Structure 1
């Protein structure tokens, strides 16, 4: 049975961040779909809303489910949204889930601090682009360096998207997830805060921490993340067909 991988990007970036993963999957003849959330990438002119974001994920998942099994992978904000989606009260047609760099509850002081820092950064000349590029130059390998920003940076969607995340009930959603799940974090990821809690709430889950890696685990260690994709695909292939 065919498995299609659906990928949901993080805040400010776009579907282009998954280029290395999509090329890896294509070499294995595994179909994939990488979406652009509202306000990001090819949809930069749109306003970000949770309703539109969930509709985007759901549309891609249901299109993929017409062909067979679905492995959903989300990074950062895309991972948080995907947790809420997979753990919805009405179970979507998702057979496996990879949640990368998204094991923190986006509420309270932590979220306020992140928003304040992001807004301050946005007020710098060029919206802080030179600093961002400097950091990416020194942390990402040449093979993925251009991918993170290839679809443009969604500066205008950033604060409204961050503010929207505070209404997610992730703990309730995590308790409802019944599919094989992999939580993947970089060792130095600032969103590792609740990783053990998240993993403890999902019965069929594994926590994978990648050494010497930042929040951008998919781009900083593309081969490691591709190996996680391979692991998830092999797990789904070995599972009996859904009744």
Structure 2
């Protein structure tokens, strides 16, 4: 049975952020599902809650698992939610897991600072989109430049989503994940703050740091991230060839 891929987007964006990955997987003949979390993308008018976010991920994973082993891939907030989901005490049918740009514990001073900055941006004219556009123009290639915004930005869901993330027990979840796992971070990603702790808690996971890349690793270096998807898929297809954990 072929590997099935489920993609979970980050905060404010939507399933459209995965366009480059979905096109790559489609060319290779792999089935892929990119969800929209509540309050985001096609579900912009829904209220974001953790319960509904987990229901959304679980629904996609269990539907995919009926067709083959599931590779779960989450970016940023989607990665944090997916850690909690994959590490549930009653393990879901996940065969492998890529946690991208999410090696940070969302609580305390760091979370409060992030929320304050987000509210500050929202208070700017046009919610600071002029600055966002300049940053994206300078950092993303043409092929992925508009993917993050294509499904709209979930401004209304942002603060409530950030606030609710503080209840996640990520370290406990990481201890329970026993499937092949990869942490993928950009070299300059601000969410690398707890990277060493995460790799200590989950020593079987591989840490892959993409050079000269920011938090938006999937869009800034799409070919590299696609190659990492290929690596994960090959590992799930050939479990006997899986090597010892390594840091790249």
Short-chain TM bin: over 0.9
Matched, 1:157 2:190: no
Cα distance in structure 2, aligned partners of 1:175 and 1:109: 24
2:208 alignment counterpart: 208
User: What SS is found at the alignment partner of 1:64?
Assistant: helix
1:147-186 pair list within 5 angstroms: 147-186=147-186
Q: TM-score, normalised by structure 2?
A: 0.96
Q: What is the CA deviation profile of residues 214-234 of structure 1, one whole-angstrom value per residue up to 9, with x for unaligned ones?
A: 000000000000010000000
Matched, 1:107 2:107: yes
Residue 204 (structure 1) shift: 2.5
Matched, 1:88 2:79: no
Cα distance in structure 1, aligned partners of 2:182 and 2:196: 12
Cα distance in structure 1, aligned partners of 2:117 and 2:222: 28
Cα distance in structure 2, aligned partners of 1:232 and 1:196: 21
1:190-201 pair list within 5 angstroms: 190-201=190-201
2:117 alignment counterpart: 117
Cα distance in structure 2, aligned partners of 1:218 and 1:79: 12
Q: What is the CA deviation profile of residues 200-243 of structure 1, one whole-angstrom value per residue up to 9, with x for unaligned ones?
A: 22242100000000000000000000010000000000026xxx
Q: What is the CA deviation profile of residues 94-149 of structure 1, one whole-angstrom value per residue up to 9, with x for unaligned ones?
A: 00000000000001000000000000110000111111111101110001001010
1:217 alignment counterpart: 217
Residue 197 (structure 1) shift: 1.3
* Runs of 5+ unmatched residues, structure 2: 241-248
Matched, 1:143 2:143: yes
Matched, 1:232 2:241: no
User: What SS is found at the alignment partner of 1:191?
Assistant: helix
Matched, 1:69 2:69: yes
Residue 199 (structure 1) shift: 1.6
C-alpha RMSD over aligned residues:
0.7
Q: What is the CA deviation profile of residues 140-159 of structure 1, one whole-angstrom value per residue up to 9, with x for unaligned ones?
A: 00010010100000000000
CA contact (8 A) 1:178 1:203 kept: no
User: What SS is found at the alignment partner of 1:68?
Assistant: coil
